[in-house]
Homo-oligomer: A and B are copies of this chain.
Amino acid sequence: MNTNLPSLKVKDIGEQGLLKIIQSFCPADIIGDDAAVLTTTPQKSLVVTTDMLIDGVHFSDVTTSPEDAGWRAAAANLSDLAAMGAFPLGITVGLGLPGDLSVAWIEKLYQGITECLQKYNVSIVGGDIVRSPITTLSITAFGEVKPDLIIRRSTAQIGDTIIVTGIHGASRAGLELLLNPEIAQNLKTTEKTALIAAHQRPIPRLDVLPIIEEILLPISPSSHLLISGMDSSDGLADAVLQICRASGVGAILEQSKISVPSAFNHWLTPEQSLNYALYGGEDFELVLCLPPKTASALVEKLGTGAAIIGTITPGSEVNLKHENAKIPNQVLTLSQGFQHFS
């Protein structure tokens, strides 16, 4: 069967034909049973996360190639594991496909998924393919974490320092450049390329986990409460607000510490810049709350982009403090972010 024919459709090759193609993206020994078998590490907890992505809602051929849709879906799930402090064990991929979808599209989707997974030595360990009127992708990712190093939203403590592992707003800016290629004439090509890559090929911050382990374990080998946090996939403001709500605390963020891509300076107004950073979403950085000394040590070790952006406070408000003390604090709310069913 020549799957390189661009016109070949799902309905032309059937379920068995599709399975053969998909199996070429999976390790040989996991195929053929009702379920996949994985080996876990004793003394570690299992972490599980799941995401559904719908054609026209979460991805679209206008801004996203099938390769990029696959990469982004895999990256989002690995980022959810990183947000819990967990190293990935594997993912399952469920696919709902219209009969007239091209087989080439599916191959490119899997290529994008596996390109992202390979960077972290992760495999597709199972899945399901079914007929559906709308292309639907459902990914479940499994990881494991030492119980002492689980990162939770609900354990932020008053006095904790809030840090980010990188800059924010790049993904949103990249999307804008894809939707309106004629804007931002005064950006260099390299700047445009970097922003678009931030949107199309976001990087889950699994690299942060060994650094956290290196810094935290010597300080307190048995504490459960040293680290709180989540990823910024729904925006930096959303992450801080979710952590505060779950922990029953407030926060103060310093606007001047929230770093954005340098390209923003000669393109966007300060207000647009801040808006992209706070509400743009899909940057997949980690937002972490730790005791001040540990936070400083972690930021130093993480290097470029990582920064202390604020402090956990009593109360429940998240305030954004302007550099100019005369400008009043802005109170951040969840409703400024995305509403998926609106």
Q: Which residues of A contact B (CB under 8 A)?
A: 10-11, 14-15, 18, 32-40, 42-54, 56-58, 80-81, 83-84, 86, 89-90, 92-96, 99, 125-134, 136, 138, 140-143, 145, 150, 152-154, 230-231, 246, 339-342
**Is A341 touching B142 in the complex (CB atoms < 8 A)?**
no
User: Which of B36, B136, B339 is close to A48, meaning CB atoms less than 8 Å apart?
Assistant: B36
A38 touches B45 (CB 8 A): yes
A340 CB contacts on chain B under 8 angstroms: 14-15, 129-131
Residue from the list B32, B36, B132, B138 in contact with A57, Cβ < 8 A:
B132
Kindly state the separation between the CA atoms of A51 and B142 in the bound complex, as whole angstroms.
16
B contact residues around A42 at 8 Å (CB): 42-43
The distance from the CB of A206 to the nearest CB of chain B, in whole angstroms, is 13
Closest to A231 in B: B34
B33 touches A152 (CB 8 A): yes
Q: Are A341 and B50 in contact (CB under 8 A)?
A: no
Checking B53, B83, B132 against A54 with a beta-carbon cut-off of 8 angstroms, the contacting residue is B132
Give Cα distance in the complex from A47 to B40, angstroms.
10
Are B18 and A128 touching (Cβ within 8 A)? no
A86 near B35 with CB under 8 A, answer yes
- Does B36 contact A47, Cβ atoms closer than 8 Å? yes
Q: Which of B39, B53, B84, B92 contacts A50 (CB 8 A)?
A: B92
Give complex CA distance A58, B86 in Å.
34
Least Cβ–Cβ distance between A200 and chain B, in angstroms: 21
Distance to closest chain B CB from A128 (angstroms): 5
Residues of B within 8 A of A45 (CB): 37-40
How far apart sit A81 and B150, CA to CA, in the bound complex (Å)? 27
Q: Which residues of B sit under 8 angstroms from A50, Cβ to Cβ?
A: 92-94, 126-128, 138, 140
- How far does the Cβ of A181 sit from chain B's closest Cβ, in whole Å? 28
In whole Å, how far is A139's beta carbon from the nearest beta carbon of chain B?
A: 9
Docked-complex contact B130 and A57, CB < 8 angstroms? yes
Check if A34 sits within 8 Å of B142, measured CB to CB.
no
With A138-B138, A340-B130 as known contacts, state yes or no: A94 contacts B34, CB within 8 Å: no
Q: Flag if B58 contacts A130 (CB, 8 Å).
A: yes
CB–CB B32/A154 < 8 A: yes
Contacts of A34 in B (CB 8 A): 49, 80-81, 83-84, 153, 230-231
* Complex CA distance for A125 and B49, rounded to whole angstroms: 9
Instruction: Report the minimum CB–CB distance from A237 to chain B (whole Å).
Output: 16
Alpha-carbon distance A330/B153, docked complex (angstroms)? 61
Complex alpha-carbon distance, A47 and B49, angstroms:
15
A130 to chain B, nearest CB (A): 5
Q: Are B131 and A54 in contact (CB under 8 A)?
A: yes
> In the docked arrangement, what's the CA distance between A251 and B146, Å?
47
Q: A14-B339, A132-B54 are in contact. Are A81 and B35 (CB under 8 A)?
A: yes
Mind listing 29 A-B residue pairs with CB under 8 Å? A14-B340, A14-B342, A32-B154, A33-B154, A34-B83, A35-B81, A35-B84, A35-B86, A35-B141, A36-B48, A37-B47, A38-B46, A38-B47, A40-B45, A48-B142, A50-B92, A50-B126, A50-B138, A52-B95, A52-B129, A52-B138, A53-B130, A54-B133, A94-B138, A94-B140, A131-B340, A133-B133, A136-B136, A138-B138
